[in-house]
């Protein structure tokens, strides 16, 4: 008998029968627990972006509902899940290397079930590779991992052979449990997939077409979060600005922002990631009116050259982008703007790069995330023949970082002496006496703090600033911005 390769449609007609499988797996786990005298452990490795982190919280919730308890080491687990990333070749190699290390665990404990899911394993060639070269991996499925785990686990535990499933864009199940890493801040996925096909990006190929969650499901989850004391909610999606388009009801992201903002409570509302072509005035107006929306807008530019934006298939140009920024600043003068920039995209000349530097100087972002273009197999940009030499990419990257650091430093100096409201995350990794948190504008702030601050808003008087952080001490004075 060969290993099983199936699609969602063949497994569960409506894609949403997972509660039934949770009960079936729970029965098996109860039996195993009675025999072993202890609860089985689940260990989850998460690679990649915030969407994967959110998916892992859902994987953990589903695993707990089936009777597993979270453990800190794979050696202690009966269920090991690798939630992989495909954004770059390097990310895939990293995930494969971690999966490779599980071989000895399977040898020690043949009953352990090993699952690989996420964006990397949504690609057929990677599934084939895992099938042939990683025989100890039991279940391989794509980015719908958390949505289908109970069903596939049940089948494996019931004696079926290894299972390989490619995503087929079926319905996203609702009401499955979530085990959140933090109580005071939360990811809240509003949609899955992407329809944009930027020429450098693998996401539409591995996460499928856009699927928006129903507003009532999102609002119910947001209300529950706020009711449980959550103070910072980040709405997640590959392109949140196009939220709702596939629902066909006219309900859009601006409406979602307004409706979540109407929930009573002291919380901040964030979102990521935006696409400039879909960042409408209606959305900006909704943000400006909201007393919950954080004063931070991450608007990935990617390049300041119209020629390169076209080659990237971004579907906006310099002028549109600058118009959007001008309107955001007109409606919210205190907003912090951040962006993503890719340097060295195929065909990028010195003039194109100059256009990027020019737009950075004009907009003066609070911060940017800069990336050196690396060809991603399976995307059109990987096959473009005018690739930029490595040393040129490095030089441009360094020039970009130098310019941006100087701008960030100047912008942050403005906070010197002011009082900012910080949601405390806890002690810094390098100095346990210093606690860190974020402002509404997403600035990182460090101050001498205490355990009780974690998860709470604290006012901090800024005494020193750097390009990447503000430093100060707690104060009873009111913050200039009370968000
Ligand atoms: S908008 Fe473009 S870059 Fe963002 S996920 Fe979609 S295809 Fe990728």
* CATH number of the domain bearing residue 150: 3.40.50.12160
Q: Fill in the DSSP letter of residue 148.
A: H
| C-alpha–C-alpha distance, residues 221 and 63, integer Å | 19
Compute the distance from residue 412 Cα to the ligand 1 centre, in Å: 30
pLDDT digits (tens, 9 = 90+) for 215-227: 999 999 999 999 9
Cβ 393 vs Cβ 373: under 8 Å = yes
Q: Which residues touch 199 (CB under 8 Å, ≥6 apart)?
A: 311, 312, 313, 379, 380, 381, 384
* Atom 4 of ligand 1, residue of closest alpha carbon: 238
The minimum-distance atom of ligand 1 relative to the CA of 194 is: 6
Q: How far apart are CA 84 and CA 93, in angstroms?
A: 10
Q: Under a CB-based contact definition with an 8 Å cutoff, are residues 67 and 22 in contact?
A: no
Residues in the chain: 483
- Out of 7-16, 82-91, 137-146, 178-187, pick the least confident: 7-16
Pairing, β 79-84 against β 139-141: unpaired
Q: How much is the pLDDT for 1? A: 38
* Residue with CA closest to ligand 1 atom 1: 196
- Distance separating alpha carbons of residues 306 and 299, to the nearest angstrom: 16
pLDDT over 60 (residue 11): no
Both 155 and 193 in one domain: the answer is no
Q: Which residue minimizes the CA distance to atom 2 of ligand 1? A: 198
Is it the case that residue 355 has pLDDT exceeding 90?
Answer: yes
For residue 6, is pLDDT > 70?
Answer: no
Task: Note whether 270 and 338 are same-domain residues.
Answer: yes
Whether 239 is in the pocket of ligand 1, judged by its Cβ within 6 Å, is yes
Share of residues in the chain with pLDDT > 70 (%): 96
Do 240 and 130 lie in one domain? The reply is no
Residue 168 banded pLDDT, cuts 50, 70, 90: low
Question: Is 197 close to ligand 1, i.e. is its CB under 6 Å away?
Answer: yes
pLDDT in tens, 156-167: 999 999 999 987
Write out the two tokens for 83: 């939630």
Calpha distance 425→298 (Å, rounded)? 21
Residues 137 and 190 in one domain: no
**6, 144 in Cβ contact below 8 A?**
no
CA dihedral in degrees (352, 358, 364, 369; nearest 10)? 20
Check whether residue 425 and residue 405 sit in a common domain. no
Residue 296 CA to ligand 1 center (angstroms) comes to: 20
Looking at the domain assignment, is residue 267 inside a domain? yes
CB 332 within 8 A of CB 279: no
CATH of the domain at 221: 3.80.30.20
379 and 310 in a common domain: yes
Q: Using an 8 Å Cβ cutoff, are 108 and 75 in contact?
A: yes
Angle (nearest 5°) at CA 19 between 186 and 232: 5
Asked whether residue 108 is assigned to any structural domain, the reply reads yes
397 CA distance to ligand 1 middle (Å): 21
Task: Tell me if the pTM is above 0.85.
Answer: yes
CB atoms within 10 A of CB 251: 17
| Atom from ligand 1 closest to the CA of residue 207 | 5
Calpha distance 356→362 (Å, rounded):
10
| Domain termination residue (choose one: 166, 201, 217) | 166
Last residue of a domain, one of 134, 166, 198: 166
- Could you tell me if 133 and 47 lie in one domain? yes
**Displacement of CA 302 from its chain's centroid (Å):** 18
Write the CATH number for 431. Answer: 2.40.50
User: Is 90 exceeded by the pLDDT of residue 89?
Assistant: no
Residues 156 and 228 in one domain: no
Ligand 1 lined by 194 (C-beta under 6 Å): yes
Domain enclosing residue 456, as ranges: 419-474
Q: Is the pLDDT of residue 175 over 90?
A: no
Average pLDDT over residues 336-361: 98
One domain, residues 190 and 104? no
* Residue 5 pLDDT grade (very low, low, confident, very high; cuts 50, 70, 90): low
Among 14-23, 345-354, 446-455, the range scoring the smallest mean pLDDT is: 14-23
Mean pLDDT for the stretch of residues 175-192: 94
Rounded distance between C-alpha atoms, residue 483 and residue 472, angstroms: 18
Residue 302 forms beta bridges with which residues?
341
Pocket test of ligand 1: the residue of 204, 278, 308, 371 to mutate, having most ligand atoms within 8 Å of its CB, is 204
Ligand 1 center to residue 419 CA distance, Å?
37
Do residues 292 and 330 touch, judged by C-beta distance below 8 A? no
Mean pLDDT across 377-402: 96
Q: Is residue 198 lining ligand 1, measured as CB closer than 6 Å?
A: yes
**Pocket mutation for ligand 1, best pick of 201, 279, 301 (most atoms within 8 Å of C-beta):** 201
Mean pLDDT in the chain?
93
- 275 Cβ closer than 6 Å to some ligand 1 atom: yes
Residue 405 sits in the same domain as residue 428: no
* Selection from 77, 162, 151 nearest residue 121 by Cα: 162
Ligand 1, atom 5, residue with closest C-alpha: 238
| Residues 407 and 423 grouped into a single domain | no
Residue 15 tokens read as 């894609």
- Report whether pLDDT(482) > 90: no
CA dist., res. 134 & res. 137, Å (int): 6
359 and 455 in a single domain? The answer is no
Cβ–ligand 1 distance for 203 under 6 Å, the answer yes
Torsion angle (degrees, nearest 10) of CA 309, 311, 313, 314: -10
Q: How many CA atoms lie within 13 A of 340 on its CB side?
A: 15
When pLDDT is cut at 50, 70 and 90, the band that residue 10 belongs to is very low
Per-residue CA distances from 57 to 43, 54, 60, 83, 419 (Å): 12, 5, 5, 11, 34
Q: Which residues of 58-91 are buried (b: 16+ CB within 10 A; e: fewer)?
A: bbbbbbebbbbeebeebeebbbbbbbbbbbbeeb
> C-alpha angle 202/208/214, rounded to 5°?
130
Residue 100's nearest CA partner among 124, 74, 78 is 74
204 Cβ closer than 6 Å to some ligand 1 atom = yes
Nearest-angstrom CA–CA distance, 172 and 251: 19
Q: How many domains does the chain have?
A: 3
- The crossing angle, in degrees rounded to 10, of helices 18-36 and 145-157 is 50
Q: What is the pLDDT of residues 288-341, one digit of tens each?
A: 999 999 999 999 999 999 999 999 999 999 999 999 999 999 999 999 999 999
Please report the pLDDT score of residue 75 as a whole number.
95
CA atoms of 459 and 447, how far apart (whole Å) = 10
Is a pLDDT exceeding 60 seen at residue 286?
Answer: yes
pLDDT of residue 274 exceeding 80, the answer is yes
Does residue 15 have a pLDDT over 50? no
How many whole angstroms from 51 Cα to the centroid of ligand 1?
13
pLDDT in the model for residue 185: 98
Assigned domain for 178 exists: no
Could you give the percent of the chain with pLDDT greater than 90? Answer: 89
């Amino acid at each position: 008998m060969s290993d099983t390769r199936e699609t969602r449609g063949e497994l569960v007609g409506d894609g949403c029968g997972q509660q039934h499988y949770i009960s079936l797996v729970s029965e098996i786990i109860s039996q195993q627990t009675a025999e072993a005298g202890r609860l089985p452990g689940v260990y989850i490795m998460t690679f990649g972006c915030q969407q994967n982190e959110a998916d892992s919280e859902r994987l953990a919730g589903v695993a707990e509902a089936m009777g597993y308890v979270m453990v800190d080491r794979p050696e202690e687990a009966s269920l090991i899940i690798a939630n992989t990333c495909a954004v770059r070749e390097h990310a895939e190699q990293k995930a494969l290397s971690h999966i490779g290390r599980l071989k000895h665990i399977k040898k020690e404990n043949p009953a352990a079930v090993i699952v690989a899911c996420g964006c990397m394993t949504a690609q057929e060639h990677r599934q084939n590779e895992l099938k042939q070269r990683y025989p100890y991996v039991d279940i391989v499925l794509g980015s719908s991992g958390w949505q289908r785990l109970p069903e596939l686990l049940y089948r494996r535990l019931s004696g079926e052979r290894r299972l390989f499933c490619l995503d087929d864009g079926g319905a996203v199940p609702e009401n499955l449990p979530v085990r959140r890493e933090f109580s005071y801040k939360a990811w809240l996925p509003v949609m899955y997939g992407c329809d944009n096909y930027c020429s450098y990006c693998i996401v539409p190929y591995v996460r499928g077409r856009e699927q928006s969650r129903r507003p009532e499901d999102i609002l119910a989850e947001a209300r529950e979060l706020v009711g449980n004391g959550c103070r910072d909610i980040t709405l997640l999606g590959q392109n949140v600005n196009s939220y709702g388009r596939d629902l066909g009801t006219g309900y859009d992201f601006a409406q979602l922002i307004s409706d979540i903002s109407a929930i009573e409570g002291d919380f901040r509302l964030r979102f990521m990631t935006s696409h400039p072509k879909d960042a409408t005035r209606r959305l900006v107006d909704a943000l400006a009116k909201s007393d919950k929306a954080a004063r931070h807008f991450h608007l990935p530019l990617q390049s300041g050259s119209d020629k390169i934006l076209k080659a990237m298939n971004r579907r906006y140009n310099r002028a549109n982008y600058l118009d959007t920024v001008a309107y955001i600043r007109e409606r919210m003068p205190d907003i912090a703007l951040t962006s993503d920039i890719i340097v060295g995209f195929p065909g990028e000349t010195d003039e194109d790069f100059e256009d990027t530097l020019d737009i950075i100087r004009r907009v003066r972002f609070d911060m940017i995330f800069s990336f050196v273009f690396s060809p991603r197999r399976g995307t059109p940009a990987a096959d473009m023949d005018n690739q930029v030499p490595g040393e040129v990419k490095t030089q441009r990257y360094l020039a970009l970082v130098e310019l941006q650091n100087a701008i960030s430093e100047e912008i942050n100096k403005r906070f010197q002496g002011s009082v900012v409201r910080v949601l405390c995350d806890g002690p810094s990794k390098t100095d346990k006496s210093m606690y860190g948190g974020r402002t509404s504008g997403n600035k990182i702030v460090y101050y001498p703090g205490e355990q009780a601050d974690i998860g709470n808003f604290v006012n901090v008087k800024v005494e020193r600033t750097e390009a990447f952080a503000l430093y100060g001490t707690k104060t009873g004075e009111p913050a200039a911005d009370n968000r």
